[in-house]
C-alpha cells in the first residue's frame, strides 16, 4: 500500500495538464490550492487570474477582497479575541511594522486610514504615521477618516506628496495653513467649521501662483449659520458667474443638497496649458469652471448659491501669442492641427484669416442650409458635422429675411450617429453675430469650402422672405433646393414671390424638391416641368394634375402623393411610346394604400412584356425610337409604387 | 575660436544630460557634436539626438566631421537664443532613439518662449517637435470665440490691416522715390 502511494506521488501530471485542470476549477478553489505548497503557489501565479482589484481592510477582523469583474471573493480573517491588544500583521498584539508594511502590501494605489472617533491615543498616531511613511511615495489616493494629526504627522507631510486625491474626513488637530503647501491634484476636506480667513489667504496666494498642481479643493461642513462670503472674498477681485450658468448648474447640485445639507467652498484651477479638461472629470461641487478659479458659496433650503471666478498669474487669457508674426507656412501648420470648428471660428476673425482658411481646403463633403423657423447651416465632414444655428429675435413677429441680424450663433459639433431626437448635439460654443446679417453669414460660410463642393438648401417660404435681386449672389453654388409651400390658401403676392424665387433658382440648380405645392394656385408649375432639371421631386402635392407629366423635361421625377393615377399613367406610357418625353430617364410615383391597385388599368393597350421578378411585377415597353423601358409595379404592406425606368440602350 | 573656448568651458553643465545615455550603450561608441546659440554657450549633443533635426543631420552628413573637428567647430545658430537652444537640445536628448508619442508631456513649459521655440524648431527642421509646438499654439484658442482668438493671437482687425497696408504702401512709395532721386543724383 505504501509502495502504491509512493508510486502515485512520483507520477505527476504534466504542468500544462495541471493548468488545464486548475482552469476548470472555480476561483475560490484555485485560491485554496495556492496555499498547498510553494510549487502550487507558483502554478497559481502562472494562471494569471483576471483579478481587477484587491481591497485590504485592516480592522479588528481583517478582510481581503478580490474582485473578478462582476464576481468577488472575500477572505475574512477571524482573529483571536482572548487578548485585548490590537491585531497586527504578525498575528501578535504589536503595532504595525513599518519595515515589513511595504512587503506586505506591494503595488498599493489607494489607502484609507480610519482612526477612532473619540479618544486619541499615541499608539493610533504612531500607527497612522507608520502606514503613511511606508506607502506615501507610491500611493495615488489617500483617504483619512478621523485620523489624528500631530507633530510627526502633519497635513504638510501628506499634502506635499505627489498624490492625485487626498481626502480628509473630520481630521483631528487640522491646521489650515497646510493648504498653502498642498501638492495634490484634488483635495476634499470635510470638517466641523469653515475657515474663511484661511481660505481667503489661500486664494490670494493661489492668485500669486502658489499650488500650481492643485485642480480641485473642496471644503464642506455642517452649519446652520450662513458663512460670511465677504470675509472669504475680501480683496480677491472676483468675477461673479452669470445667472444662466448658475441655473444650469443647479441641477447638478440638487442631489448633493439632499444628501449633505452642508456649506461648501470649492476651488478649481485651470490645469496646465497643454491639458484640456472634460466636464465629466469635475466633481459635484465644482461643476462649472472653464478657466480660472471658481468659488461656490451655497446655502441650502431656499438659501443662496453664488459662484465666482478668480484668475491667477498663470492664466492663459493673459498670455498672448503673436500668431501673425509667424511665417506663412507655420501659420498654416498651426491651423492644420486644429479641429475644423476652430478653423471656421478663426475664419471670422478678419478678412485675412478667412483667406488663410480658404487655402487650407477643409475636407468638407457637403453643406446644407435649412431656412425654417430657425436658420441652420450644416457642414458635413465625413461622419462628423458642424451646425451653425442662428438664434433670431423671437419677439419680431414678421417673417424673417436675410437682412436680419441673428441674436447669436450656436455652434454644434458632433458625429452623425442615430441618437434619439431628444439628445441634442454637442454645443461647442456660442458666437456673437459678428455684426453680420443672415445673408452675410451664409455668404461667408459658403465661401469657405472649395469651389466645386455642392451645397443644398431647404427654404420654407412660410418662414422666410427672399429678395430675388440678390438670390444668385446669396446662393451662388447651389446644387439642390427644397422649397416648402404653405398648406393653406396663398394670396397673389405670395404666388408672385414664389414664382420669382423659383425662376431665380431654376436657372442655377440641378435638383428641385417641392413640398406641399398647390397645382391649382401655382400657375408657374409648368415652368418647373419644362426646365432642364436633373431631378424633380414632389412631396405631397395638392390637387396635382397629372397631365403635367406630358410636358416634363427633367431627367428624373419622383412624386409622393395620396393616390396612383393609373389611367393618367397609362396615357402617359402610351404617349411615351409614341415619342414624347425624350429626356426622361426615370419616373416614380408612390402612395400609401392598403388596397392593391388594379395594374390592368395601368397596362391596358401597352402590349407590355412581363418579366420575372421576386416581390414585384415588371413589364417592358418599347417606344417608336426602339428605346426599351421597364415598368415595375409594387404593393408591399401599405405602400404602392410604379417605377418607370428608361433603358440606356436601343433595341 | 574664442567662442569655442568659451563654449567648451561652459559646456560642462550640458554634459550630465548626455552622460547617462552614453553609459547606457557602452558597446557602440557614440559620436558627439557641438552646437551654440546666440549666447555662445556650447551644448554637447549626441549624433543620435541630433537625428531629430533634419538641418543638422544634413550638415553632418555633408561635412563628414570627426569628433575632434566637431568639438573645434561647433555648429553656430546665431539666430537662436541660448535658452531656446537648450530647450531644443534637452528635447532631442529626451527623445533620442525613441518613437515620438502622439502627445508629448516633455514640452518646455515657458509659455512666453513658445514663439521663439516655434521659430527655432522650424529653422532646425525638427518635424515632430514642430508638430507638438503647433499643437500647443492651437490649444491656446481651443473652444474660443473669434473675438477671443483675435485677442489671444493678437490678430489685427480689418481696419488695422488696411491702415497698415496703406502705411506700408506709403513707405514703399517714399523709398522708391528716394532711390530714383539717388539714382538720378548718381547719373549727374
Mapping DSSP onto H, E and C, the string for A18-38 reads HHHHHHHCCHHHHHHHHCCCH
| B102 and B164 both lie in a single domain | no
Write the residue in B141, B143, B150 that is nearest to A428 by C-beta: B143
Q: Is residue B64 part of a domain?
A: yes
| B128 and B178 both lie in a single domain | no
| A321 close to B (CB below 8 A) | yes
User: What is the grid cell recorded at B54?
Assistant: 533634419
Distance CA A614, CA A634 (A): 10
Sheet with A63-68, side-by-side order of all strands: A53-57, A63-68, A71-76
**Percentage of chain A lying above the pLDDT 70 cut:** 76
| B114 close to A (CB below 8 A) | yes
| A435 close to B (CB below 8 A) | no
Q: Is residue B151 part of a domain?
A: no
**Domain that residue B164 falls in:** 157-187
Does position B66 have pLDDT exceeding 60, yes or no?
Answer: yes
Q: For Cα atoms A70, A71, A72, give the angle at the middle one, nearest 5 degrees.
A: 125
| B94 and B167 both lie in a single domain | no
Write the residue in B105, B137, B145 that is nearest to A334 by C-beta: B137
Q: Is residue B119 part of a domain?
A: yes
| B109 and B19 both lie in a single domain | yes
Chain B contact probe: residue of A313, A325, A333 with most B CBs at under 10 A? A333
Residue of A nearest to B136 (CA): A274
A324: chain B residues, CB-CB within 8 Å: 153-156
Contact in structure between A33 and A44 (CB atoms under 8 Å)? yes
**CB contact set of A268 (below 8 Å; sequence gap of 6+):** A215, A216, A217, A282, A286, A289, A293, A294
pLDDT of residue A98: 57
Burial class (CB in 10 A: 0-12, 13-18, 19+), B13: exposed
Chain B contact probe: residue of A277, A290, A322, A349 with most B CBs at under 10 A? A349
pLDDT band at A422 (very low <50, low <70, confident <90, very high): low
pLDDT of residue A90: 44
| B11 and B74 both lie in a single domain | yes
Q: Is residue B69 part of a domain?
A: yes
**Percentage of chain B lying above the pLDDT 90 cut:** 12
Give one DSSP letter per residue of A501-527, joined into a string: HHHHHHTT-SEEEEES-BTTT-TTHHH
pLDDT band at B104 (very low <50, low <70, confident <90, very high): low
Q: Please state, rounded to an integer, the average pLDDT across all residues of chain B.
A: 78
Contact B154 A324 (CB under 8 A): yes
Does position A135 have pLDDT exceeding 80, yes or no?
Answer: no
pLDDT digits (tens, 9 = 90+) for A273-330: 333 333 333 333 333 333 344 444 444 344 566 777 777 765 555 678 899 889 999 9
| ipTM here | 0.79
A327: chain B residues, CB-CB within 8 Å: 119, 122
| B178 and B128 both lie in a single domain | no
| B23 close to A (CB below 8 A) | no
pLDDT digits (tens, 9 = 90+) for A12-50: 777 778 888 888 888 888 888 888 888 888 888 888 888
pLDDT digits (tens, 9 = 90+) for A233-260: 888 877 665 543 444 444 343 333 333 3
| B131 and B48 both lie in a single domain | yes
Which CATH number covers residue B35? 3.30.710.10
**CB contact set of A145 (below 8 Å; sequence gap of 6+):** A112, A113, A114, A115, A169, A170
| B150 close to A (CB below 8 A) | yes
Distance CA A335, CA A33 (A): 61
Write the residue in A316, A324, A431 that is nearest to B146 by C-beta: A431
Contact B140 A321 (CB under 8 A): yes
pLDDT digits (tens, 9 = 90+) for B10-54: 333 333 344 444 444 455 567 788 888 888 888 888 888 888 888
**CB contact set of A83 (below 8 Å; sequence gap of 6+):** A93
Contact in structure between A386 and A474 (CB atoms under 8 Å)? no
**Percentage of chain A lying above the pLDDT 90 cut:** 14
Task: Name the domain count of chain B.
Answer: 2
pLDDT digits (tens, 9 = 90+) for B105-125: 556 556 678 899 999 999 999
Q: Give all strands (DSSP E) within A23-81, no chain letters.
A: 53-57, 63-68, 71-76
| B153 close to A (CB below 8 A) | yes
What are A491's strand-pairing partners? none
Contact A336 B139 (CB under 8 A): no
| B161 and B114 both lie in a single domain | no
| A16 close to B (CB below 8 A) | no
Cα-Cα-Cα-Cα dihedral of A402, A404, A407, A409, to 10°? Answer: 10
A326: chain B residues, CB-CB within 8 Å: 115, 118-119
| B65 and B132 both lie in a single domain | yes
| A279 close to B (CB below 8 A) | no
pLDDT of residue B13: 37
| B171 and B78 both lie in a single domain | no
| B61 and B103 both lie in a single domain | yes
Q: Other CB atoms closer than 10 Å to residue A37's CB: what's the count? A: 10
pLDDT digits (tens, 9 = 90+) for B123-177: 999 988 898 889 889 988 888 899 999 999 999 998 988 998 898 899 888 888 8
| A432 close to B (CB below 8 A) | yes
Chain B contact probe: residue of A330, A340, A351, A352 with most B CBs at under 10 A? A330
Contact B155 A323 (CB under 8 A): yes
| B95 and B60 both lie in a single domain | yes
pLDDT band at A169 (very low <50, low <70, confident <90, very high): confident
Amino acid at each position: 500500500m505504501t509502495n502504491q502511494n509512493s508510486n502515485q506521488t512520483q507520477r505527476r501530471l504534466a504542468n500544462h495538464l495541471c493548468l488545464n485542470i486548475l482552469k476548470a476549477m472555480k476561483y475560490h478553489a484555485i485560491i485554496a490550492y495556492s496555499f498547498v505548497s510553494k510549487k502550487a503557489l507558483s502554478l497559481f501565479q502562472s494562471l494569471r487570474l483576471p483579478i481587477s482589484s484587491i481591497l485590504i481592510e485592516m480592522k479588528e477582523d481583517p478582510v481581503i477582497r478580490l474582485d473578478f469583474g462582476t464576481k468577488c471573493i472575500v477572505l475574512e480573517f477571524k482573529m483571536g479575541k482572548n487578548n485585548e491588544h490590537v491585531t497586527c500583521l504578525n498575528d501578535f498584539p504589536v503595532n504595525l511594522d513599518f519595515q515589513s508594511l511595504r512587503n506586505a502590501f506591494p503595488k498599493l494605489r489607494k489607502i484609507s486610514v480610519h482612526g477612532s472617533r473619540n479618544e486619541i491615543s499615541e499608539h493610533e498616531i504612531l500607527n497612522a504615521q507608520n502606514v503613511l511613511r511606508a506607502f506615501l511615495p507610491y500611493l495615488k489616493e489617500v483617504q483619512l477618516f478621523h485620523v489624528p494629526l500631530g507633530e510627526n504627522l502633519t497635513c504638510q507631510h501628506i499634502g506635499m506628496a505627489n498624490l492625485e486625491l487626498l481626502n480628509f474626513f473630520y481630521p483631528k488637530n487640522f491646521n489650515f495653513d497646510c493648504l498653502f503647501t498642498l501638492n495634490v491634484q484634488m483635495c476634499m476636506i470635510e470638517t466641523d467649521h469653515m475657515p474663511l480667513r484661511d481660505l481667503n489667504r489661500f486664494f490670494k496666494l493661489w492668485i500669486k501662483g502658489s499650488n500650481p498642481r492643485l485642480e480641485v479643493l473642496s471644503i464642506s461642513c455642517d452649519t446652520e449659520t450662513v458663512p460670511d462670503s465677504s470675509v472669504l472674498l475680501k480683496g480677491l477681485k472676483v468675477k461673479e458667474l452669470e445667472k444662466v450658468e448658475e441655473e444650469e448648474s443647479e441641477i447638478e447640485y440638487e442631489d448633493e443638497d439632499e444628501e449633505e445639507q452642508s456649506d461648501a467652498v470649492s476651488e478649481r484651477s485651470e490645469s496646465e496649458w497643454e491639458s484640456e479638461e472634460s466636464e465629466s472629470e469635475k466633481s459635484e461641487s465644482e461643476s462649472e469652471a472653464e478657466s480660472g478659479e471658481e468659488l461656490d458659496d451655497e446655502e441650502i433650503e431656499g438659501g443662496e448659491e453664488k459662484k465666482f471666478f478668480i484668475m491667477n498669474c498663470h492664466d492663459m487669457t493673459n498670455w498672448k501669442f503673436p500668431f501673425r508674426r509667424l511665417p506663412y507656412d507655420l501659420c498654416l501648420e498651426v491651423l492644420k492641427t486644429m479641429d475644423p470648428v476652430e478653423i471656421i471660428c478663426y475664419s471670422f476673425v478678419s478678412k485675412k484669416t478667412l483667406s488663410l482658411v480658404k487655402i487650407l481646403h477643409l475636407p468638407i463633403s457637403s453643406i446644407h442650409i435649412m431656412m425654417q423657423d430657425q436658420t441652420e447651416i450644416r457642414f458635413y465632414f465625413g461622419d462628423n458635422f458642424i451646425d451653425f444655428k442662428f438664434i433670431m429675435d423671437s419677439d419680431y413677429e414678421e417673417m424673417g429675411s436675410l437682412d436680419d441680424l441673428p441674436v447669436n450663433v450656436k455652434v454644434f459639433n458632433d458625429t452623425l450617429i442615430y441618437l434619439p431626437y431628444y439628445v441634442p448635439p454637442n454645443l461647442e460654443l456660442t458666437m456673437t453675430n459678428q455684426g453680420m446679417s443672415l445673408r452675410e453669414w451664409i455668404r461667408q460660410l459658403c465661401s469657405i469650402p472649395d469651389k466645386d463642393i455642392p451645397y443644398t438648401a431647404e427654404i420654407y417660404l412660410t418662414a422666410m422672405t427672399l429678395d430675388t435681386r440678390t438670390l444668385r449672389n446669396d446662393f451662388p453654388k447651389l446644387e439642390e433646393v427644397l422649397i416648402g409651400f404653405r398648406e393653406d390658401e396663398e394670396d397673389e403676392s405670395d404666388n408672385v414671390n414664389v414664382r420669382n424665387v423659383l425662376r431665380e433658382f431654376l436657372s442655377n440648380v440641378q435638383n428641385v424638391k417641392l413640398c406641399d405645392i398647390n397645382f391649382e394656385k401655382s400657375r408657374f408649375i409648368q415652368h418647373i416641368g419644362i426646365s432642364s432639371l436633373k431631378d424633380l421631386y414632389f412631396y405631397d402635392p395638392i390637387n396635382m394634375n397629372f397631365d403635367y407629366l406630358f410636358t416634363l423635361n427633367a431627367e428624373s421625377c419622383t412624386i409622393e402623393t395620396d393616390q396612383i393615377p393609373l389611367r393618367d399613367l397609362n396615357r402617359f406610357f402610351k404617349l411615351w411610346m409614341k415619342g414624347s418625353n425624350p429626356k426622361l430617364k426615370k419616373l416614380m410615383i408612390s402612395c400609401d394604400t392598403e388596397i392593391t391597385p388594379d395594374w390592368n388599368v395601368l397596362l391596358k393597350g401597352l402590349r407590355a412584356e412581363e418579366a420575372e421578378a421576386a416581390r414585384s411585377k415588371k413589364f417592358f415597353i418599347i417606344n417608336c425610337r426602339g428605346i426599351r423601358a421597364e415598368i415595375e409595379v409594387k404593393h408591399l404592406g401599405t405602400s404602392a409604387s410604379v417605377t418607370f425606368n428608361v433603358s440606356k440602350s436601343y433595341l | 575660436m574664442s567662442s569655442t573656448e568659451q563654449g567648451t568651458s561652459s559646456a560642462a553643465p550640458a554634459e550630465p544630460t548626455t552622460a547617462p545615455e552614453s553609459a547606457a550603450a557602452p558597446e557602440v561608441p557614440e559620436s558627439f557634436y557641438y552646437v551654440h546659440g546666440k549666447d555662445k554657450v556650447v551644448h554637447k549633443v549626441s549624433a543620435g539626438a541630433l537625428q531629430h533635426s533634419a538641418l543638422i543631420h544634413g550638415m553632418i552628413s555633408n561635412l563628414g566631421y570627426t569628433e575632434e573637428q566637431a568639438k573645434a567647430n561647433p555648429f553656430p545658430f546665431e539666430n537662436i537664443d541660448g535658452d531656446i537652444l537648450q530647450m531644443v537640445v534637452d528635447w532631442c536628448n529626451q527623445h533620442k532613439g525613441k518613437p515620438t508619442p502622439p502627445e508629448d508631456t516633455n514640452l518646455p513649459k515657458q509659455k512666453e518662449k513658445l514663439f521663439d521655440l516655434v521659430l527655432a524648431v522650424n529653422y532646425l527642421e525638427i518635424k515632430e517637435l514642430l508638430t507638438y509646438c503647433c499643437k500647443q499654439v492651437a490649444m491656446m484658442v481651443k473652444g474660443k470665440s473669434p473675438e477671443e482668438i483675435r485677442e489671444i493671437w493678437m490678430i489685427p482687425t480689418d481696419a488695422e490691416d488696411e491702415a497698415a497696408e496703406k502705411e506700408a504702401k506709403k513707405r514703399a512709395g517714399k523709398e522708391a522715390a528716394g532711390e530714383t532721386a539717388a539714382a538720378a543724383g548718381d547719373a549727374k
